[in-house]
């Protein structure tokens, strides 16, 4: 897992979401975007980002990662109605130091 792994996933992401501390997600479908919005990721210290190029998205992710707490991670998430936990793909594991 590395920034290269993140870079491969970014072009398919519809939005990015950060809780303002350590949870960073790539929302890979519209249902996940709606879930993050319903969880308040556009309020308080949490943030969402969408609509830019993959290069801009990578800049946002690197900035959020640098500003995150020590147990930070980046995951891609897709809707899986049968097993919601199966929709998560770890791109940079919690606490992993990314290069």
Q: In which element (H, E) is residue 26 found?
A: strand 23-27
Please answer whether residues 46 and 17 qualify as being in contact, where contact means their C-beta atoms are separated by less than 8 angstroms: yes
Distance CA 59, CA 91 (A): 16
Buried b (16+ CB within 10 A) or exposed e, 5-15: ebeebbeebeb
Taking 90 as the threshold, does the pLDDT of residue 96 lie above it? no
Query: pTM of the prediction?
Result: 0.92
Q: What is the pLDDT of residue 16?
A: 98
């Amino acid at each position: 897992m590395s920034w290269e792994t993140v870079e491969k996933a970014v072009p398919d992401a519809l939005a990015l979401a950060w809780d303002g501390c350590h949870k960073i997600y790539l929302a890979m479908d519209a249902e996940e975007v709606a879930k993050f919005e319903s969880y308040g990721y556009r309020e308080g210290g949490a943030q969402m980002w969408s609509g830019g190029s993959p290069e801009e998205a990578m800049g946002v992710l690197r900035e959020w990662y640098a500003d995150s707490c020590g147990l930070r991670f980046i995951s891609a998430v897709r809707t899986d109605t049968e097993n919601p936990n199966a929709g998560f793909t770890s791109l940079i594991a919690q606490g992993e130091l990314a290069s």
